[in-house]
C-alpha cells in the first residue's frame, strides 16, 4: 500500500537509479524522491559511446534520452555532482559531506567500476575507461590527434571499441589473454566471424597475450608490454571486466554476495529492511543454473530499477531469475545468445547436447540476405533448451529475445523444430534458422538411436 509523505532516496543516476526514481513517483505520486548522482548528467546511453567514437553516430547529443527538466516536472529532485559519503542504517540517513538526509526507503544503484590493471604503469596518463559521457566527449577530441590505440581485453566493450576505432581509421590493437574473442563465455565457432570482420576493418588481434606493463614517456603511456612482445601506442582503452561499486554498502553493513554484488531477493530487497538495490551493484539468480551472477546489460539494470522503485514506493512486483538474452555488433557482424553457451556448459560440468545449423536471414535471392549460424544447447535427457549462441549479418537481437522467452517457459528441441515462422522475402526466409538447428539436432540424435515422443493423440 502506498504511504503518504514517503521519503525515498536513490543513490546513483544510471539506468537502474533513474528508472527506480521514475517508477517510485509513478506508483506513489505523493512520495518525495531525491536522486543523488556524482556526475553532471543522467538519462543518457553509455552503451552508445563507442559508436560516437566510431562516427556511426554523429555526435553525443543523440545519446541523451531525457532532460533534467523532465524529471523535475514529474517530481524527482535530482542532485547532480553530489557524492553520497555514508549510509547510516540505524538512523536511516545518508550523508553528503556534512549534510544529512533522512529516508523511509533507500534504493542503492551505485553501478560498477572497471577492474583496474594491477601492473606497473597503470597510473600513466593516456589510460582511458569508457563510462562517463563527459569524459568520453573530451576523449573524442584526443582521438582526432592520435594514430595508435591499444584496447585491453576482448570483452563486449573491448570488441565494440576495437571495431569503431578501426572504422575511424586509427591503428587499433586488441590484446587479450584468451584464445578467442570473449573466450570466457562465448564459443570459438561463433566468434570466428567476428575476429575476421574486425581484421577486415584493419584491427590487429593479439590473443594469448597478457599485458604485464605500461611504459611511458613524460608521464604518458607510449608502449604496452605483453607476454608476446611490445606494442607502441598513443592511448590505451581499458575494457576489463566490470566490478560492483559497493564500498558504501559494505561500510554500511549490507550483505554482499559471492560475486561481489549486493544480495537481493526477488523484490530487489537487500538484507536490511526498507533498503533496496538494483543494477550493476547487485547479484541476481541465473534461471538455468540457479547460480548468482552480476554485471548484466543496461536493459537488466533498467528492469531491476523499475522493480526496486515500485516496491520501495509501496508496490508489489517481482524480478524473475534471468536468462540473459544478449547481443552486440563485432565489426560488421551481429552476435548474441541466451543463457550459457557450449564453452560455459563445459567449464561448469553441465551435461549438454549441441544442435547447430546455418540458415539465412531473408529469401536467398533478396538483396541484403546474410547467413545466420544458430547453436542450441539442450539437456541431453529432456531436450529442454538451456542456452543458445548465434552469429550473422542481421536479425540476431530478435532471435535472442524470442529464445530467452521460450527457454524460460521450458521449450525443447521438439518445440523449436516444429515452430511456426514468418516467411516474407524481404524480412524472413522460408526456413527459420532456429528451427533448422533444432531439426539438425534431432536428426543427429536419431542416428544415435533416439526415438522422439509421439504427438498427442497419435497411435
Locate all alpha helices (DSSP H) within 42-187, ordered by sequence: 49-53, 68-73, 133-143, 156-168
The C-alpha atoms of residue 335 and residue 296 are separated, in whole angstroms, by 16
Burial letters 352-387, b for 16+ CB under 10 A, else e: bbbbbbebbbbbeeeeebeebbbbbbbbeeebbbbb
Residue of 330, 327, 325 lying closest to 340 (CA atoms): 325
The C-alpha atoms of residue 429 and residue 362 are separated, in whole angstroms, by 4
Q: Which three cell numbers stand for residue 15?
A: 539506468
Q: Which three cell numbers stand for residue 18?
A: 533513474
C-beta atoms surrounding 201 within 10 Å: 18
The C-alpha atoms of residue 282 and residue 271 are separated, in whole angstroms, by 12
Set 26, 47, 369, 450: catalytic member: 47
Element (H or E) spanning 336, and its range? strand 333-339
Residues in the chain: 459
Phi, psi of 43 (to 5 degrees): 55, 55
Paired residues of 333 in beta bridges: 330
The yes-or-no answer on residue 233 being catalytic is no
Long-range contacts of 99-104 (CB under 8 A, 24+ apart): 101/9, 101/34, 102/7, 103/7, 103/8, 103/9, 104/3, 104/6, 104/7, 104/8, 104/274
The C-alpha atoms of residue 362 and residue 8 are separated, in whole angstroms, by 50
For residue 333, the SS3 value is strand
Can you give the C-alpha Rg of the chain in angstroms?
24
- Active-site residues, by number, are 47
Amino acid at each position: 500500500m502506498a504511504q503518504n509523505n514517503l521519503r525515498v532516496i536513490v543513490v546513483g543516476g544510471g539506468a537502474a537509479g533513474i528508472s527506480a526514481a521514475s517508477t517510485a513517483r509513478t506508483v506513489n505520486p505523493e512520495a518525495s524522491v531525491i536522486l543523488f548522482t556524482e556526475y553532471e548528467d543522467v538519462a543518457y546511453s553509455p552503451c552508445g559511446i563507442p559508436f560516437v567514437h566510431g562516427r556511426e553516430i554523429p555526435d553525443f547529443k543523440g545519446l541523451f534520452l531525457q532532460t533534467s527538466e523532465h524529471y523535475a516536472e514529474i517530481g524527482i529532485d535530482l542532485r547532480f555532482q553530489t557524492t553520497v559519503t555514508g549510509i547510516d542504517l540505524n538512523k536511516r540517513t545518508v550523508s553528503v559531506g556534512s549534510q544529512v538526509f533522512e529516508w523511509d526507503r533507500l534504493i542503492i544503484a551505485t553501478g560498477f567500476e572497471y577492474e583496474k590493471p594491477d601492473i606497473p604503469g597503470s597510473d600513466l596518463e593516456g589510460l582511458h575507461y569508457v563510462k562517463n559521457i563527459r569524459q568520453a566527449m573530451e576523449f573524442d577530441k584526443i582521438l582526432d590527434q592520435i594514430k595508435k590505440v591499444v584496447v585491453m581485453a576482448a570483452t563486449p566493450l573491448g570488441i565494440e571499441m576495437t571495431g569503431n576505432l578501426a572504422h575511424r581509421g586509427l591503428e587499433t590493437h586488441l590484446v587479450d589473454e584468451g584464445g578467442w574473442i570473449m573466450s570466457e563465455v562465448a564459443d570459438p565457432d561463433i566468434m570466428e566471424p567476428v575476429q575476421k570482420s574486425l581484421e577486415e576493418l584493419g584491427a590487429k588481434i593479439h590473443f594469448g597475450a597478457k599485458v604485464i606493463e605500461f611504459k611511458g614517456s613524460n608521464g604518458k603511456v607510449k608502449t604496452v608490454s605483453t607476454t608476446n612482445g611490445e606494442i607502441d601506442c598513443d592511448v590505451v582503452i581499458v575494457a576489463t571486466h566490470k566490478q560492483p561499486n559497493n564500498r558504501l554498502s559494505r561500510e554500511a553493513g549490507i550483505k554482499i554476495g559471492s560475486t561481489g554484488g549486493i544480495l537481493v531477493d526477488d523484490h530487489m530487497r537487500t538484507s536490511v529492511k526498507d533498503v533496496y538495490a538494483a543494477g550493476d551493484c547487485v547479484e541476481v539468480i541465473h534461471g538455468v543454473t540457479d547460480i548468482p551472477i552480476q554485471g548484466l546489460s543496461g536493459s537488466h539494470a533498467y528492469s531491476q530499477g523499475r522493480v526496486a522503485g515500485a516496491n520501495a514506493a509501496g508496490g508489489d512486483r517481482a524480478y524473475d531469475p534471468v536468462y540473459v538474452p544478449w547481443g552486440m555488433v563485432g565489426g560488421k557482424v551481429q552476435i548474441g545468445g541466451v543463457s550459457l553457451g557450449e564453452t560455459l556448459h563445459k567449464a561448469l560440468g553441465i551435461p549438454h547436447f549441441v544442435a547447430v545449423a546455418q540458415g539465412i536471414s531473408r529469401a536467398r535471392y533478396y538483396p541484403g540476405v546474410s547467413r545466420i549460424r544458430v547453436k542450441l544447447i539442450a539437456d541431453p535427457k529432456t531436450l529442454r533448451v538451456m542456452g543458445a549462441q548465434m552469429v550473422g549479418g542481421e536479425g540476431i537481437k530478435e532471435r535472442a529475445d524470442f529464445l530467452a522467452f521460450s527457454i524460460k517457459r521450458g521449450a525443447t528441441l521438439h518445440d523449436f523444430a516444429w515452430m511456426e515462422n514468418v516467411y516474407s522475402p524481404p524480412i524472413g526466409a522460408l526456413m527459420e534458422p532456429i528451427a533448422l538447428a533444432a531439426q539438425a539436432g534431432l536428426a543427429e540424435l536419431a542416428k544415435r538411436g533416439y526415438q522422439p515422443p509421439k504427438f498427442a493423440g497419435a497411435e
